[in-house]
Structure 1
Amino acid sequence: MQLKLNPHCTHRDIKPLINIAVARSLRELRIEMICESFELPKSFYMFSQLETVILEKVSLEDVPRNAHFPCLKRLHLLSVKFTGDESVKKLLSLCPILEELVVKRSSLTNILTLYVLLHLQTPDSYLPTGTSFVFLDHLELCLCSTEWWNLLTCILVDAPKLRVLKLKLYRKHCVRYNDVMDQWNQPDYVPMCLSSYLEIFEWRQYNGKEKEREVAKYILANASRLKKATFYSESGEKDGILKELEYMARGSTTCKLVFD
Structure 2
Amino acid sequence: MDVSASRINSWISVAVTRKVQELDLSLPHTSCFELPDALFSSDTLKILRLDMRVLFKVPPLKHLSNLKTLRLWSVTFEGDQSTEQILSGCPVLEELDLYRCFWKNTVKVTVSVPTLRTLEISSLHSLRLFRIYAENLISLKYRSCFPVQVLLFGGAHNVETLTLSNDILECLSFEENLHTCLPTFHTLAHLKVISCNYGHTNGALMNFVLKSPNVESLEIPRVFHRDDRLLLNIVPQCLKSCLKTVIIAFFEGYVREVTFLKYFLKNANMLERVTIFCTRNYSTNLEKQNNVYHELQAIRRCIIEFCYSWTRRLTCFKYFAECVIECQ
1:1-260 equivalences under 5 Å are 7-10=2-5, 12-32=6-26, 33-34=28-29, 36-105=31-100, 109-110=102-103, 116=109, 119-121=110-112, 132-145=133-146, 147-148=147-148, 150-154=149-153, 157-159=154-156, 161-168=158-165, 178=171, 181-183=174-176, 185-186=178-179, 190-191=183-184, 194-196=185-187, 198-205=188-195, 207-208=199-200, 213-233=202-222, 238=223, 249-251=236-238, 253-260=242-249
Larger relative strand fraction? 2
Q: Is the 8 A contact 1:100 1:136 kept in 2?
A: no
Does the aligned pair in 1 maintain the 2:9–2:36 contact within 8 Å? yes
**137 and 56 in structure 1: CA distance in 2 versus 1, 3 angstrom threshold:** farther
Q: Quickly say closer, same or farther: Cα 1:38–1:28, change in 2 above 3 A.
A: same
Query: CA 1:203–1:179 in 2, change beyond 3 Å: closer, same or farther?
Result: closer
Quick one: distance in 2 between partners of 1:220 and 1:114? 30
Q: TM-score, normalised by structure 1?
A: 0.67
Query: Taking structure 1 as reference, are residues 189 and 230 closer, same or farther at Cα in structure 2, changes over 3 Å only?
Result: closer
Write out per-residue CA displacement over residues 199-218 of structure 1, whole angstroms, 9 at most, x where no aligned residue. 3332112733xxx6333223
Q: CA deviation at 1:34?
A: 4.0
CA gap of 1:73–1:217, structure 2 versus 1, over 3 A, is farther
Task: Give TM-score, length-normalised by structure 2.
Answer: 0.55
Deviation, structure 1 residue 40 = 1.9
Gaps spanning 5+ residues in structure 1: where?
A: 1-5
Is the Cα–Cα contact under 8 Å of residues 52 and 74 in structure 1 kept in the other structure?
yes
Highest CA radius of gyration, 1 or 2? 2
1:13-40 deviation line (CA, Å, top 9, x unaligned): 1233223333444333222334632222
Q: Secondary structure of the residue that 1:195 maps to in structure 2?
A: coil
Which of the pair has the greater relative contact order for Cα pairs under 8 Å at 6+ separation?
A: 1
Structure 2 SS opposite 1:215: helix
Separation of aligned partners in 1, 2:56 and 2:47: 20
Q: How many residues align?
A: 225
**Identity score, percent:** 23
The answer as to whether partners of 2:16 and 2:42 remain within 8 angstroms in 1 is yes
Counterparts of 1:104 and 1:113 in 2: how far apart (Å)?
17
| Alpha-carbon distance in 1 for matches of 2:152, 2:30 | 31
How far is the alpha carbon of 1:134 from its aligned partner? 3.0
Superposed CA offset, 1:100-155 (max 9, x none): 222223xx624599952xx32459xx89xxx922343333222221x12x33212x
Over aligned residue pairs, what C-alpha RMSD do you find?
Answer: 3.9
Structure 1 CA distance for aligned equivalents of residues 168 and 138 of structure 2 = 28
Contact kept in structure 2, 1:77 and 1:104, CA below 8 Å: yes
- C-alpha deviations, 1:30-80, integer Å up to 9, x for none? 223346322222232112333322222423142111122222222223232
- What is the CA distance between 1:185 and its match in structure 2? 4.0
